[in-house]
Structure 1
């Protein structure tokens, strides 16, 4: 990193910490079903941080998990039973030790939404590798397939000042590189999915200018489903 940027990053980080008012209450519901289609319902769990929990929206059908379940049902012609297991502020370490043990067994698919809090907390790629490897090892015993979503592009977040956002995006890219390597070790069971490319559509972010809105979650869920 250019050392000239360090004072700017530090100042912007302090400013962001003192002014950012995040939507910390989960609003996306903890489970539901998409009854359309035929056959045995697919069992889907979305695991991770505040985005898995649905922070930024209020309706049970507005967050990522419900939206992704609808996309899966549409593409497979199968009904889907979905569950969301997420926690505001959760890093990979907390997901590993606190959230994974809460998951059911014999799941068809788990989607992991994580990494942004690890970036904000300054956790290193080696820390991320250790926790992600352990998480995927645990999920291999519980699910037939796992998707690891890339960290959302922090330079697009309206709440984060530009210099700080570029600094955090460099950290995020380092963690995503590790995720690709770890997922590639078991290609039949784990898949890394890039974050949406390009500029988010108008209305993508919720009122806190950090979490997605209902439209944002729907856009993200559709993008992940389209890549798989």
Structure 2
């Protein structure tokens, strides 16, 4: 939609599909989410991550507020402000700042190090944290005040949860990033039996530096 006269052209409007809420609000406002909700939410997030990661992009700031939601329980990942591309001519192990991701969702390999070597597994950890979201503030304070001790088995922490969900959660929250599944591997987990279909889980070609050529160009008002 262009103005009839270039002289009157002063504003640019970018129009997106309306997403009424985000996952933070969904978790906060609904205490009646079913196992089917949890499964469908996680499936969508992993499907999106598969696409993002096969493009060699790391989101680096996944959290409920950065996941938009609509009334049909459809999710969309947003806010790629901290995302980075691992170009093909850079090593698989990337050296970037460790000051990424909101602390509650930050992978262990990003914590307490002067510089970090990391892989797409940082996003997988964040997805695991979202899947096991603790929404009670008192519970948060209690957990942070506890001394170091042996981990509580997930079966004890989530006694009513689907055993297949807990098995997948354990894989997503593996301390060593090498032990975490890729998004594609996680989609093949038995937890998604009956829901997963490879044909609706697209991959992407890796992003090349040529696609960032626009950053080296001076763009005039007429170009826009």
TM-score, scaled relative to structure 2 = 0.26
Please state which structure has a larger fraction of its residues in helix. 1
Give 1 or 2 for the bigger CA radius of gyration.
2
Please state which structure has a larger fraction of its residues in strand. 1
